[in-house]
Chain A
Amino acid sequence: MREAYKEIMDHIAVTDEMRERILHNLRGGTSSPSVSRPRRPFVPMLAAAACLALLLAGTAALPRLSQLVQGDNSSGVQTGILDRREAASLQELSQLVGFPVEEVEEVPFSVTEIRYTAYGGTMAEVQYKGEEQSLTFRKTAEGGDPSGDYTAYPDTLVLELPWGTVTLKGEEGAYRLALWQEASYGCSLQSTAAYPAEEWTALLESIG
């Protein structure tokens, strides 16, 4: 089998014409039209813009945070100065935030712990923890990007899935963050491990 496969693959080779074509394109700075590449010189600017946005958001949010009250208005366990409540199940989490929250059904690693958390009564978080990695799903009623991930990823890829458009962010063709809108809700799925788009597609299609 190994020899047959090698013999098959030996039919595929870089021809002189292909070599010249690729070198010509590389010398001319031509890149494949099918792959979108962000222009790297803007990465520092994006990082600076992200820092500025964070600063402005923090300035705007501080007065609100100081007004948050530690109340006990549900069965959830409240922790910290932020209105952060842990729930025991997905159903309880949905009740805390007041909108339906979905689960990732095909997590690509062995899950040792699942944590359900409601933030401020407007954002739901489901975190899947494994021995070496974790996956965090967030959904907010306020729309926008709820991930809290301000990394200026150099690569982005837009996936067209049956239920909507998802933006993947990462580098070297492997992605760590997915962002999308579901009606008026903003959703994010963040992974500590980087996956290619194919695996992200399977992951995203398993949310339900």
Chain B
Amino acid sequence: MLVNGMYDMPAEWSGPVRWRRALLRLWIKAAAVLEAAMAGEPRKAAAALEQEARNRKAEVLLDTYGNQILRLAYSYLHNLDDAEEVLQDTLIQYWNKGPAFENKAHEKAWLLRVAANLSKNRIAYNKVRSTDELKETLAAEQREDLSFVWEAVKELPVKYREVIHLFYYEGLSTAQIAAVLQQKESTVRSHLMRGRGKLKTILKEGYDVEGGI
């Protein structure tokens, strides 16, 4: 029923405050959709429903893959603002393309691929800021050991850095990395081997970079 321009919530909907708030929000949104439909605006109602579904999907994507996308972008760009923009643009690409995925692994691979391409485009287009927040954080924490490793990784060419990140951080196999980066597996293995070799040289055997490809 409509009371003072709003739909009244059923009295039996009582319980913990959190649930009541969630139900209230849902009730208000449902009421808005219903009201739009009743006003003879089915398109508006459908658009509102679609928008709400997209908002929920964006939240799920951000909570599920946000950190992974942000870290991959940071591994390319070394700047948090740039990485955040890549994260946002990746979600927009997801939004615009609306791809269908076979499973969660496929979805994750697609998101990482788009984030990698967007990051590399920024590098090619020379649109990368110079501030490296991670370097500053590690310095503030007086983690010279990690600073040393980070600086060594940063010195690697992009083609080695990207496979190092996906291999070391994401724990992907060379076949999975090849799928994400759309390269041949032999190319990935070669880049991984050369990247680790260069890292080893830079770190001057200060860290163990062995461990089987």
Contact = CB atoms under 8 A, between A and B. Distances in A.
A13 B67 contact: yes
Interface residues of A, number: 39
A19 B85 contact: no
Given A2-B211, A9-B169, A201-B124, A174 B149 contact: no
Contacts of B153: 5, 8
A1 interface: yes
A11 to B, nearest CB: 5
B interface, how many residues as a size bin?
A: 35 or more
B134 A12 contact: yes
B158 A198 contact: yes
Contacts of A201: 124
B172 interface: no
A58 interface: no
Interface string A75-117: 0000000000000000000000000000000000000000000
B125 A197 contact: yes
Given A12-B134, A198-B158, A5 B84 contact: no
B67 A14 contact: yes
Contacts of B174: none
Contact of A8 (B54, B88, B116, B138): B138
Interface in B69-110: 70-71, 74-75, 80, 83-85, 87-89, 91-93, 95-97
B120 interface: yes
Contacts of B75: 9
B145 interface: yes
B182 interface: yes
B132 to A, nearest CB: 11
A56 to B, nearest CB: 31
B125 A6 contact: no
A157 B121 contact: yes
Given A19-B62, A196-B121, A198-B158, A27 B87 contact: no
Interface of B: 51, 54-55, 58-59, 62-63, 66-67, 70-71, 74-75, 80, 83-85, 87-89, 91-93, 95-97, 113-114, 116-118, 120-125, 127, 134, 137-138, 145-146, 149-150, 153, 158, 164-165, 168-169, 182, 199, 203, 207-209, 211
Given A1-B211, A21-B84, A32-B85, 7 more contacts: A2-B168, A9-B169, A13-B67, A19-B66, A31-B88, A173-B114, A201-B124
Interface of A: 1-2, 4-9, 11-14, 18-19, 21-23, 25-27, 31-32, 34-35, 37, 40, 157, 159, 172-174, 193-194, 196-201
